[in-house]
Chain A
């Protein structure tokens, strides 16, 4: 069954004069010299090449900045980790170099060094009631007793004094 839409007899046909007039009106486009065509093309290529180069510079700069930031963060993290442990390790040895000479009154056994044997010697003497030197009153409270023994012992183990070194 044919419908009005697909029936060839129903198609529109323009008059020949009208068709020729329209063809003349939209005739062939003016001729462009090939040199001008090439020049326009070259300009367009240069323009887009510059834009591509700028985009690449931005990308590489971002990448380098990100890499640098990553390295800096990693370095900072490593440094902060080490930093926490270093003072503790260095503190003792640096301080122990100071005040190595025994203080008067602490070297009870006259060995030339202050160690636990000085406290032990004073403890034995105080127990035996044989305290003869007031210089052993190291805490200056007017009596030579267990508190002086403790003071000498604490001096012997002091990290600042480095009292254990003989």
Chain B
């Protein structure tokens, strides 16, 4: 009887350990995703922008930053290298040329290492037209796996 209780206790301990370690291993899988950041400045040409992107959930580490789709913002934007391996980044860029995007345009793509289900919050700090005046705009993100 006592020996049975002992065996049951040992089995429970083993199961608990396996369950916790199993949960750890389930949470562990890491994958790489991209996050596209779009700014929609409506009909106004976009000459400068700055936004702050933060991962609100999931385990996210920023691995790299690319420029946007329009030639005006093709070059990698300004960002703090300390943001790499972090879950928060401030990104900004400007272009003093004449060829500027209007409407919705992808201004940056981030490559991120994630585990769990990431959710992002984007805060548009400022957007400006070619004369340096602030213009209204909205920012949004889309995310996906692979390149």
Contact = CB atoms under 8 A, between A and B. Distances in A.
B10 A158 contact: no
Given A74-B16, A74-B20, A116-B48, A60 B6 contact: yes
A56 B3 CA distance: 8
A109 to B, nearest CB: 7
A70 interface: yes
Contacts of A59: 2-3, 6
B6 A63 contact: yes
Given A120-B132, A121-B132, A157-B80, A92 B88 contact: yes
A70 B2 contact: no
A150 B21 CA distance: 48
B21 A74 contact: yes
A78 interface: yes
Contacts of B2: 56, 59
A108 to B, nearest CB: 10
Contacts of B121: none
B142 interface: no
Nearest to B85: A88
Interface in B1-15: 2-3, 6, 9-10, 12-14
Contacts of B59: 85
A142 B73 CA distance: 30
B78 A74 contact: no
Interface stretch (B35-43, B89-97, B98-106): B89-97
Given A117-B126, A156-B90, A164 B132 contact: no
Contacts of B96: 120, 123-124, 127
B83 A159 contact: yes
A166 B126 contact: yes
Contacts of A71: 16
Nearest to A158: B80
Contact of A88 (B61, B80, B91, B93): B61
B92 A115 contact: yes
State the 6 A-B residue pairs at the shortest beta-carbon distance, nearest first.
A74-B20, A116-B92, A120-B94, A116-B50, A92-B88, A70-B17
Given A91-B86, A93-B88, 17 more contacts: A63-B6, A71-B16, A74-B21, A92-B88, A115-B50, A115-B125, A116-B50, A116-B94, A116-B125, A117-B126, A119-B94, A124-B96, A127-B96, A153-B94, A156-B92, A157-B90, A159-B90
Interface of A: 56, 59-60, 62-64, 66-67, 70-71, 73-74, 77-78, 81, 85, 88-89, 91-93, 109, 115-117, 119-121, 123-124, 127, 150, 153-154, 156-160, 163-166
17 contacts: A62-B6, A64-B9, A66-B10, A67-B16, A70-B16, A117-B134, A120-B47, A124-B96, A150-B78, A157-B79, A159-B89, A160-B82, A163-B90, A164-B50, A164-B92, A164-B125, A165-B125
